[in-house]
Amino acid sequence: HNIVLVMSWCTIESDPGVFNELVEKLNVKNVQFEEVYSIDELTSNTFLNNNVVNKEEMNLTDEMNDYLLKDKEAYGLIFLFKYKSETDNRTTIPFNPSLSNSNESRLYFAKQVVRDACATQAILSVLLNASIELGSTLNEFKSFTNDFDYEMKGLAIGNSDEIRTAHNYFSRPEPFILEDDPNDKRHKKTKDAYHFIAYIPFNGKIYELDGLKQGPIQVGEYSSNQNWLSNVYPTIQTRIQSYSEQKIILIYY
């Protein structure tokens, strides 16, 4: 048997402010995280439009003014919920090794092999599939791992010193425990376990990226003139009805 060493990871707060600082530590620029308090907002065509008024009276710098004037682009949603074991018969998309490293049509998906890394893994699921300036750390990581299969990508995340260090900077004491893992010595100490999954638009399709699944799951489609958030609304609505506690975080700029 092969022995794979994965360094220790901590759980982190499910807070947009923490996520903003985390991606800054990974050298990603021009990305913001914000909690969505009403999913009805997602169906509004003006949800990401700029409604700032009286900008002339606010004495803004040029950089701030450019940001405020620009309508925002949504890169993904992160859905946080209280974990429970469940059966999911939806079809997952298998890894396709025939796509080359330079082929932009390959969706980046990694299986979660590190118990406490689900928050950062969900963030990476969005960032590594978005058309943004990733910065040197994630650019090098994506280039190095893009041809890896789902399992190897997950192991690469778990063994990345840079990603793990940035993640552990925001550590909190509670571990993430799967409900169906009674042999874990920490199981009795943990009342609730929470899990993070990502929803992203990619080449005209909307995907659910859950590192505990065998692969990506397509949940919808969108056209170039559509707000993809409106098309993911039914899936999010179903999720909310299925879980007693949840949080939705938007990643945009």
Active site residue 10: no
The residues, any chain, with a CB within 8 Å of residue 150's CB and separated by 6 or more, are: 95, 109, 110, 111, 214, 215
- Strand (E) positions, the chain? 11-12, 32-36, 74-82, 171-172, 194-202, 205-209, 217-221, 246-252
Contact predicate 211/116, CB 8 Å: no
Q: How far apart are CA 110 and CA 117, in angstroms?
A: 12
The residues, any chain, with a CB within 8 Å of residue 236's CB and separated by 6 or more, are: 39, 42, 77, 79, 199, 248
* From 1, 118, 167, 187, active-site residue: 118
Q: Which residues are catalytic?
A: 118, 195
